Amino acid sequence: MKRYLYAFLLVFCFAFIPSAAQEDVEDKVEGLMSRMSLDDKIGQLHQIDGRTDLTKVCEMIRRGQVSSIMNIVDASVIDSLQRIAVEESPSGIPILFARDIVHGFKTILPIPLGQAASFDDALIRSAARNTALEATEIGIKWAFAPMMDIARDPRWGRIAEGFGEDPYLASRLAVSVVKGYQGDSLSDELSMAACAKHFVAYGAAEGGRDYNTTYVPVRSLYDTYFPPFKACVEAGVASFMSSFNDNDGVPATGNSWLLSEVLRNEWGFTGMVVSDWGSVGGLIPHGVAKDKKEAAKICLEAGCDMDMMSYSYLNHLKELLAEGSVSMEVLDEAVRRVLRLKVKLGLIEKPYTRKTSESVIYSDELLQTACRLAEESSVLLKNEGILPLDEKIKTVLVTGPMADAAYDQMGTWALDGDKAHTITPVEAIRGNLPPDVKLIYANSLDYPRDKSSDGFKALKKAARKADVLIAFVGEEQMMSGEAHSLSNLHLQGQQSEMLEALASTGKPLVTVFMAGRPLVIASEMELSDAVLYMWHPGTMGGQAAYNLLWGKANPSGKLPVTFPRNEGQIPVYYNHKHTSHIAKGTEGNLDKVPREMPQSVMGHTSSYLDVSPTPLLPFGFGLSYTTFELSNLRVETPEVRASDSLVFYVDVKNTGEREGCELVQAYVGRKSASTTRPMKELKAYERVSLKAGESRTVRLEIPAESLAFCRKDLSWGTEPGNYILTVGTSSEGGMMLYFELNN
């Protein structure tokens, strides 16, 4: 017994002794701190935009007033500014060069919402690593990504930048990006610091209107909006970005409960927090600070370490310290967090851009990975036997404003993407069609908002010569992203009318969407024989489109976000609460409402008179060119201890004629709990690739601790009781069984 006790004590002691590496970092940080003046320290908390008069930037650097510079992407300029910081600034501390690198740097990947549809953690991590290789090659060492705001409102333009509506999926994929960017070590020259943003609940903006106020109560923060951020802290994310919004009356950038109590005291985050653009000064329009001096005090004391572009810290911290309004300890702690990141990145020893013998930018390997991710991100929503196109197709009409939209195909936040490198659908089809297949490319709409129907007559004439019609529709990249919310989610311009014109010819119609959000597409789906949703698929989207349409690749994407039937349904999402009047799903036929009926509550359910309460397309939905069958769901044991995991098995068979990949999804729900709980929540998923006719038994685990939630008394933990496990290939349907969770 004594032996075990000694072993325990030894492990216990070591657990609290900082590793040599940690000690080395702290020694370096303290060494830097000891040589810094107050002005030097304040300068380390200031981030500026490099898209300005560089003469002024050099002067600020020489005065030690610049810690980080955003948006310079020329290696020679980066190195020249760095040399001034190292050789001419008072402290000689290098600058941290940063950029919004959200889904690729030069090789643009599908938008994150599209990547989420792949449910492919490994591929996303690999693609993110490639992005780090490209960005660090020109000297960027800090990327403002991954964005992991849970979004349940497609009116919100920034739904494009995150991983959709589910906390579990967003957690896994945000961690994949963090690991891709940061690699095994931040000091690796190929690594760059990631940034978990926007903390927090920015996606809950009222009305889906960007920057709008949010009201997310504590329980929902913990259950829905916190999980991806907490997962990234556990994965070692180097930095956080506070969000613009106020939640329940407190702007995130000045919220000490959020930035100190939760992030640091509860979660143990030791990295650095940067504000969003000007969001320190944003406390003034929010109405909680009378001036930038007050805003600086509130935000620094709340735990926001670096001030992005508001100049509040630079211009007011010295005065606040002199008058004793802010303590030196608070300032020093913020400076240490900034210096710790620079030391961990190896900037002190290696401040300049790494030398590479051969550039990786746009390398074949990176382009192929981007193509595969674009394929896996695409979701087949409908297929009435027309796809994949085969050798019987001898003449193809390609049309639509997104058929050759090299710039828009890259999507929002593709700052460094070069449209000259984009492979568009028409280019890929033209370049890959067999010689005996004729391509007719006839475009009647120059861009998605084009209101002209002049070309429809000629388009229909051309369509009548083809065996199949492929229309690429959607939205320009500027229609989603920051400050780009929409109240109307239907196709803009004359796109729907164009599809009607095409459908009127009676030819098979394949509609491919390229968009930054779920659009309202019920009528377009009706008109089409097949529908493929590619989101904004990035540089290689055209090649991916060809590969999918002609069956070189089999669609495997699943929806990471619910598609509404119309805007009036929003918010509509799968992990909704039961309510006391659970909808049947059959409601919503306005014509069935009797005339002059006596006062009645109709179906007495949570539904609408004029539209079904169910979505057009549910979370987790997606088709394949083959079919799969799940059977024989069984658990290792129907009783699980809170310290264990639920282990279960399901047999998956490819019952179709070709190889494909199915996503096995496991959801957990509860019959009762101390609070109202979602009908079901995604708790495990696995991609299963099978040849035609092949079967496999899949083993999945759900740790009991992943069933923890913010309980009625606001404590975090699990509750014993009866749980429902549903396993299927979408958030709707599937096989069910019950299990008990014991304490």
| Rounded least distance, CB 357 to ligand GLC, Å | 32
Q: Tell me, what DSSP letter sits at residue 678?
A: B
| Rounded least distance, CB 61 to ligand GLC, Å | 20
What is the spatial distance between Cα 628 and Cα 368, in angstroms, rounded to a whole number? 27
Element containing residue 700 per DSSP (H, E) = strand 695-703
| Rounded least distance, CB 23 to ligand GLC, Å | 33
Helices (H), 528-581: 541-549
Nearer to ligand GLC, 210 or 450 (CB): 210
Burial grade of 439 (CB within 10 A; 0-12, 13-18, 19 or more): middle
Nearer to ligand GLC, 276 or 475 (CB): 276
What is the spatial distance between Cα 681 and Cα 671, in angstroms, rounded to a whole number? 13
Angle at which helix 495-503 crosses helix 456-463, to 10 degrees, equals 40
List binders of ligand GLC among 398-457 (CB under 6 A): none
Of 277, 313, 456, 550, the one binding ligand GLC by CB under 6 A: 277
Structural contact between residues 687 and 660, judged by C-beta atoms closer than 8 angstroms: no
List binders of ligand GLC among 172-201 (CB under 6 A): 197
Residue 558 is which amino acid?
A: K
Q: Whole-angstrom distance between the N-terminal and C-terminal Cα of the chain?
A: 27
Element containing residue 153 per DSSP (H, E) = none
Of 188, 234, 427, 482, the one binding ligand GLC by CB under 6 A: 482
- CB count, 10 Å around CB of 661? 21
Nearer to ligand GLC, 174 or 491 (CB): 174
| Rounded least distance, CB 335 to ligand GLC, Å | 22
Structural contact between residues 46 and 66, judged by C-beta atoms closer than 8 angstroms: yes
* Strand runs labelled E in 271-422: 272-274, 307-308, 379-383, 395-399
Task: Out of 276, 404, 416, 529, pick the active-site residue.
Answer: 276
| Rounded least distance, CB 148 to ligand GLC, Å | 11
Burial grade of 431 (CB within 10 A; 0-12, 13-18, 19 or more): exposed
Structural contact between residues 639 and 742, judged by C-beta atoms closer than 8 angstroms: yes
What is the spatial distance between Cα 461 and Cα 455, in angstroms, rounded to a whole number? 10
Using CB under 6 A as the binding criterion, the count of chain residues that bind ligand GLC stands at 6
**Shortest CA distance to 344 belongs to which of 271, 293, 441?**
271
Binding mask 137-166 for ligand GLC (x = CB under 6 A): -------x----------------------
Structural contact between residues 706 and 645, judged by C-beta atoms closer than 8 angstroms: no
535: left (phi over 0), alpha (psi -120 to 50) or beta: left
- 307 counts as binding ligand GLC under rule CB under 6 A: no
| Rounded least distance, CB 663 to ligand GLC, Å | 29
Structural contact between residues 167 and 223, judged by C-beta atoms closer than 8 angstroms: yes
276 catalytic? Reply is: yes
Nearer to ligand GLC, 194 or 393 (CB): 194
Q: Which tokens belong to 246?
A: 């106020």
Nearer to ligand GLC, 112 or 227 (CB): 112
| Rounded least distance, CB 103 to ligand GLC, Å | 13
- 276 counts as binding ligand GLC under rule CB under 6 A: yes
The torsion angles phi and psi of 396, rounded to 5 degrees, stand at -120, 130
Nearer to ligand GLC, 198 or 460 (CB): 198
What is the spatial distance between Cα 154 and Cα 514, in angstroms, rounded to a whole number? 15
| Rounded least distance, CB 57 to ligand GLC, Å | 17
| Rounded least distance, CB 596 to ligand GLC, Å | 53
- 119 counts as binding ligand GLC under rule CB under 6 A: no
Helices (H), 214-344: 218-220, 227-234, 256, 283-286, 292-302, 312-322, 328-344
List binders of ligand GLC among 351-370 (CB under 6 A): none
Burial grade of 435 (CB within 10 A; 0-12, 13-18, 19 or more): exposed
Nearer to ligand GLC, 144 or 619 (CB): 144
List binders of ligand GLC among 43-102 (CB under 6 A): 100
The torsion angles phi and psi of 600, rounded to 5 degrees, stand at -150, 160
| Rounded least distance, CB 205 to ligand GLC, Å | 12
Nearer to ligand GLC, 276 or 587 (CB): 276
Nearer to ligand GLC, 280 or 710 (CB): 280
Nearer to ligand GLC, 144 or 222 (CB): 144
β-strand pairing of 735-742 with 639-641: parallel
* Strand runs labelled E in 17-161: 46-49, 68-70, 96-99, 142-143
Q: List residues near ligand GLC by CB under 6 A.
A: 100, 144, 197, 276-277, 482
Q: Give the residue numbers annotated as catalytic, written as ranges.
A: 276
